[in-house]
């Protein structure tokens, strides 16, 4: 079972990379037999991985059987970001309303301090953005955990499966923009305000700030779409149908 599980995880990672890298295009059919030959993995792990990617939203199941690579437009991405913000906002609100002990906030505050060193110190750049992604993801996971709601945690995990819906989806893009330092400083201020609201048991405020925080990702996307250089940095950009930004 361990070998089967390992093969499935390996197949999932490889298939996801094929889709996100553009090796397979939006609308292209994913043939099990072709993938078995390409990845040198048996059909069972391939089939399981395809079903998983369909659940993530990267693939679409065909009525006749099989899967095709999904395509997305900007409205889809905006909706995904809004859903994440709504769910994470609810987590922040629940954490504030139920009350969180100082001991429970220790790890969150340590994470904030590390983020401060990065954002307010050297600044987030293309060279160290991976460190920011890890810290940022940790912060969001810690806040979500404070809600103490397994049901909500599962829904958030499902909402962020699309590459452009996660909290770190546009960090690489953001680090490459002229407005980078300002936007990272704003995001970090959001982090601190969220924690203060949770400490003060201000549920509505914690929820509102978290939702606004998620909308920074939408702004980053809109900035990225202004030129092809930053557009290519958007994960899964090959799956996105872009509208013209030249005229309203």
pLDDT confidence tier of residue 2, bands split at 50, 70 and 90: very low
Could you give all domains of the chain from N- to C-terminal order, each with its CATH number? 2-70 (1.10.10.10), 73-241 (1.20.120.530)
| Predicted pLDDT of residue 140 | 95
Give the position of tokens 């806040």: 143
Least confident of 37-46, 137-146, 231-240: 231-240
Average pLDDT value over all residues in the chain: 85
Q: What is the pLDDT of residues 187-220, one digit of tens each?
A: 999 999 999 999 999 999 999 999 999 988 778 7
pTM (2 d.p.): 0.78
């Amino acid at each position: 079972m361990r070998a089967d599980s390992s093969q499935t995880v390996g197949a999932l990672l490889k298939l996801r990379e094929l889709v996100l890298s553009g090796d397979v295009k939006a609308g292209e059919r994913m043939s099990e037999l072709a993938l078995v030959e390409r990845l040198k993995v048996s059909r069972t792990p391939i089939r399981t991985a395809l079903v998983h990617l369909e659940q993530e939203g990267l693939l679409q199941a065909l009525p006749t059987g099989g899967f095709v690579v999904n395509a997305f437009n900007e409205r889809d991405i905006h909706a995904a970001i809004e859903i994440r913000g709504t769910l994470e906002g609810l987590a922040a609100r629940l954490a504030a309303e139920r009350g969180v002990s100082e001991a429970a906030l220790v790890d969150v505050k340590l994470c904030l301090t590390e983020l401060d060193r990065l954002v307010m110190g050297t600044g987030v750049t293309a060279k160290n953005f991976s460190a920011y992604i890890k810290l940022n993801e940790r912060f969001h996971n810690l806040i979500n955990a404070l809600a103490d709601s397994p049901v909500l945690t599962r829904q958030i995990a499902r909402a962020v499966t699309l590459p452009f819906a996660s909290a770190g989806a546009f960090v690489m893009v953001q680090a490459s923009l002229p407005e980078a330092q300002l936007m990272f400083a704003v995001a970090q201020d959001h982090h601190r305000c969220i924690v203060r609201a949770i400490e003060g048991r201000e549920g509505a405020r914690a929820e509102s700030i978290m939702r606004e925080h998620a909308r920074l990702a939408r702004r980053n996307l809109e900035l990225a779409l202004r030129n092809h250089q930053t557009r290519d940095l958007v994960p899964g950009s090959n799956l996105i149908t872009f509208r013209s930004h030249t005229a309203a």
